[in-house]
């Protein structure tokens, strides 16, 4: 089953719930028919003159899934695995995420099939600018607003917004709202880089409070990029014990706990944990990436890529809670196994929605020409997420269902309502 079909199947599972709760079967059917297909799929070919003089052509995508609630919104990733199926799936998740937290935004996603580590900085900039030239007609503050995702960052967003403004012939701050995740010097917002990790912390704190769990809780994290590092940093500050971290090459374990601030220094300097020097005094040892799923921990956090927890390793998992900071880290088969074993899964559309919320604040900041402090950003983020968590919790209790279904229910219900307001086609 493709990752898109996998996601549609999960969505399909809540259709009956919406009908059961008194909505018109015909209209619900129509909304599901619409949500199953993206509104627009843009495929672009991106020629790049390499530093060695050779020309190479890269494949890029922008999928605009649904804009019933507002302009499309979603990140851009640079990854060799990028294909239409993956980007379609992530665009659908963005539609659901924005609806879940009641943002006036729809869902989109973009990507370039490339290994950015194989490009020089000059090549990376040229490719990023070419991508903007190819999708320019379809983006803008009132159309579609891209942001960073895997292997993209504020520097890349700055190049992209610069290219966008060049073509537009306008330099005004309001048009900078065409991209979010920009650097602070370029009208980005305080806290955007940390926002997804911060959101994970807020949701996990709300959950453990409800469950009455006592700290220190142990945590293992797969992936130590923007999301993995930031969630580790915030949880560490809150008294959780981070006992294992992995990246794409290797992982480190310590029963005494790892300090994310020390780990990030190594990661930034060396690029990976491959040749990490273990500290014997901290009882550290190296683990293979896959071993992260066998550890005795309270909270397991996949924060890297899709489909890492499958039917093959779901039975090895020993945590009480899985906090899905990555998008789609579990296959459907894995989810069934984990559900039956009573492991609580906090779904991606709830756990990692902090990033798009702060992206929305960045848009507002650019449009209103105002600057938000980090305190204000995190306060507003906390309000939205704590309220959303309460809603999800109540729905899950009321319908005796898991958090994924409760979150999907809330998201689709909002899109459904909007569909009725918009009138049929
Ligand atoms: P990133 O590029 O900053 O970091 C990715 C990390 O994952 C790196 O540490 C990399 O080494 C590691 N990794 C890659 N392949 C791996 C593998 N097979 N096993 C273990 N580790 C692996 O990306 P990010 O922005 O941190 O995104 C991580 C996940 O979070 C993605 O699923 C992304 O879609 C999701 N997400 C990101 C944001 C955001 O604001 N950046 C928002 C919502 C969701």
Q: For the chain, which residues make up each domain, given as ranges?
A: 43-186, 189-425
Q: Can you give the pLDDT at residue 198? A: 98
- Ligand 1 centroid–CA 20 distance in Å is 37
Atom of ligand 1 nearest to the CA of 304: 7
Q: Cα separation of 230 and 341, whole Å? A: 29
Fold assignment, 189-425? Rossmann fold (3.40.50)
Q: Quick check: 305 pLDDT over 90? A: yes
At residue 425 the predicted structure's pLDDT band, cuts being 50, 70 and 90, is confident
Q: Can you give the pLDDT at residue 170? A: 84
Atom of ligand 1 nearest to the CA of 325: 30
Q: Can you give the pLDDT at residue 60? A: 98
Q: Quick check: 171 pLDDT over 90? A: no
Q: Can you give the pLDDT at residue 275? A: 87
- Matching CATH topology for 43-186 and 189-425? yes
Q: Can you give the pLDDT at residue 3? A: 84
Q: Which of 157, 180, 225 to mutate to test the pocket of ligand 1 (most atoms within 8 A of CB)?
A: 225
Q: Quick check: 2 pLDDT over 90? A: no
DSSP character string of 67-86: -SSSSEEEEEEE-TT--HHH
pLDDT in tens, 327-358: 999 999 999 999 999 999 999 999 999 999 99
With a Cβ cut-off of 6 Å, ligand 1 is lined by 148-151, 196, 222-228, 246-248, 289, 303-305, 325-327, 352, 355
Do the Cβ atoms of 264 and 286 come closer than 8 Å?
no
Q: Quick check: 423 pLDDT over 90? A: no
Atom of ligand 1 nearest to the CA of 224: 9
- Ligand 1 centroid–CA 54 distance in Å is 30
pLDDT in tens, 106-144: 999 999 999 999 999 999 999 999 999 999 999 999 999
User: Quick one: average pLDDT of 366-379?
Assistant: 95
3-class state of residue 322 by DSSP: strand
Q: Cα separation of 45 and 243, whole Å? A: 43
Q: Can you give the pLDDT at residue 178? A: 97
User: Quick one: average pLDDT of 174-197?
Assistant: 96
Atom of ligand 1 nearest to the CA of 305: 32
Q: Can you give the pLDDT at residue 185? A: 96
Q: Cα separation of 237 and 148, whole Å? A: 25
At residue 256 the predicted structure's pLDDT band, cuts being 50, 70 and 90, is very high
Q: Cα separation of 196 and 362, whole Å? A: 14
User: Quick one: average pLDDT of 308-324?
Assistant: 97
Per cent of the chain over pLDDT 90 is 91
For 255, phi and psi rounded to 5 degrees?
A: -70, -20
* Residue 86: half-sphere exposure toward Cβ, Cα within 13 Å: 21
Among the ranges given (210-214, 275-279, 321-325), the one the predictor scored with the smallest mean pLDDT? 275-279
- Ligand 1 centroid–CA 326 distance in Å is 6
Q: How far is CA 94 from CA 89, 110, 145, 296, 356, in A?
A: 9, 11, 12, 32, 9
Q: Can you give the pLDDT at residue 172? A: 83
pLDDT in tens, 266-293: 999 999 999 899 888 889 999 999 999 9
* The pairing of beta strand 321-323 with beta strand 241-246: unpaired
Active-site residues, by number, are: 109
- Ligand 1 centroid–CA 52 distance in Å is 30
Q: Which of 151, 223, 358 to mutate to test the pocket of ligand 1 (most atoms within 8 A of CB)?
A: 223
- Ligand 1 centroid–CA 148 distance in Å is 11
Shortest CA distance to 234 belongs to which of 323, 150, 156?
A: 323
Among the ranges given (7-11, 82-86, 379-383), the one the predictor scored with the smallest mean pLDDT? 7-11
3-class state of residue 56 by DSSP: strand
Rounded to the nearest angstrom, the gap between the alpha carbon of residue 13 and the centroid of all alpha carbons in its chain is: 22
Instruction: Give pTM, 2 decimals.
Output: 0.95
Compute the CA torsion angle 78, 80, 83, 86 (nearest 10 deg): -70
Q: Can you give the pLDDT at residue 154? A: 96
Residue nearest to atom 38 of ligand 1 (CA): 149
Q: Which of 81, 94, 149 to mutate to test the pocket of ligand 1 (most atoms within 8 A of CB)?
A: 149
Contacts with 172 (C-beta within 8 Å, 6 or more apart), sequence order = none
Q: Can you give the pLDDT at residue 23? A: 85
Fold assignment, 43-186? Rossmann fold (3.40.50)
At residue 22 the predicted structure's pLDDT band, cuts being 50, 70 and 90, is confident
Q: Can you give the pLDDT at residue 301? A: 98
Q: Can you give the pLDDT at residue 21? A: 83
How many CB atoms are closer than 10 A to CB 411?
A: 26
């Amino acid at each position: 089953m493709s990752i898109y079909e996998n996601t549609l199947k999960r969505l399909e599972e809540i259709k009956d719930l919406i009908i059961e709760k008194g909505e018109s079967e015909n209209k619900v059917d129509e909304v599901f028919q619409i949500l199953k297909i993206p509104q627009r799929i843009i495929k672009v070919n991106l020629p790049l003159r390499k530093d060695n003089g050779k020309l190479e052509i890269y494949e890029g995508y922008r999928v605009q899934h649904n804009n019933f609630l507002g302009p499309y919104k979603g990140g851009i990733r640079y990854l060799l695995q990028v294909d239409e199926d993956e980007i379609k799936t992530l665009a659908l998740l963005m539609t659901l995420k924005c609806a879940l937290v009641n943002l006036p935004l729809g869902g989109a996603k973009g990507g370039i099939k490339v290994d950015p580590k194989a490009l020089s900085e000059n090549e990376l900039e040229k490719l990023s600018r070419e991508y903007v030239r190819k999708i320019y007609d379809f983006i803008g503050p009132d159309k579609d607003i891209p942001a960073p995702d895997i292997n993209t960052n504020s520097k890349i967003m700055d190049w992209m917004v610069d290219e966008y403004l060049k073509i537009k012939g306008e330099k005004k701050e309001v048009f900078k709202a065409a991209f979010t995740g920009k650097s602070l010097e370029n009208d980005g917002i305080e806290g955007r880089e940390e926002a997804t990790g911060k959101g994970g912390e807020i949701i996990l704190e709300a959950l453990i409070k409800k469950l009455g769990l006592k700290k220190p809780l142990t945590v293992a994290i797969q992936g130590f990029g923007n999301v993995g590092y930031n969630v580790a940093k915030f949880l560490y500050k809150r008294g959780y014990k981070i006992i294992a971290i992995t990246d794409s090459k290797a992982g480190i374990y310590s029963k005494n706990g790892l300090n994310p601030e020390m780990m990030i220094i190594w990661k930034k300097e060396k690029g990976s944990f491959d040749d990490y020097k273990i500290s014997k005094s901290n009882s550290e040892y190296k683990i293979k990436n896959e071993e992260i799923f066998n550890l005795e921990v309270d909270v397991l956090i996949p924060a890297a890529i899709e489909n890492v927890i499958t039917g093959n390793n779901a039975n090895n998992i020993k945590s009480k809670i899985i906090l899905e900071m990555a998008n789609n880290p579990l296959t459907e088969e894995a989810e069934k196994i984990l559900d039956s074993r009573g492991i609580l899964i906090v779904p991606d559309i709830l756990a990692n929605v902090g990033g798009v919320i702060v992206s929305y604040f960045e848009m507002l900041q650019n449009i209103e020409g105002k600057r938000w402090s980090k305190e204000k950003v995190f306060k507003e983020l906390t309000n939205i997420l704590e309220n959303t968590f309460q809603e999800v919790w109540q729905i899950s209790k009321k319908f005796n269902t898991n958090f994924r279904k409760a979150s999907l229910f809330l998201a689709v219900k909002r899109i459904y309502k909007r569909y009725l307001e918009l009138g049929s086609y």
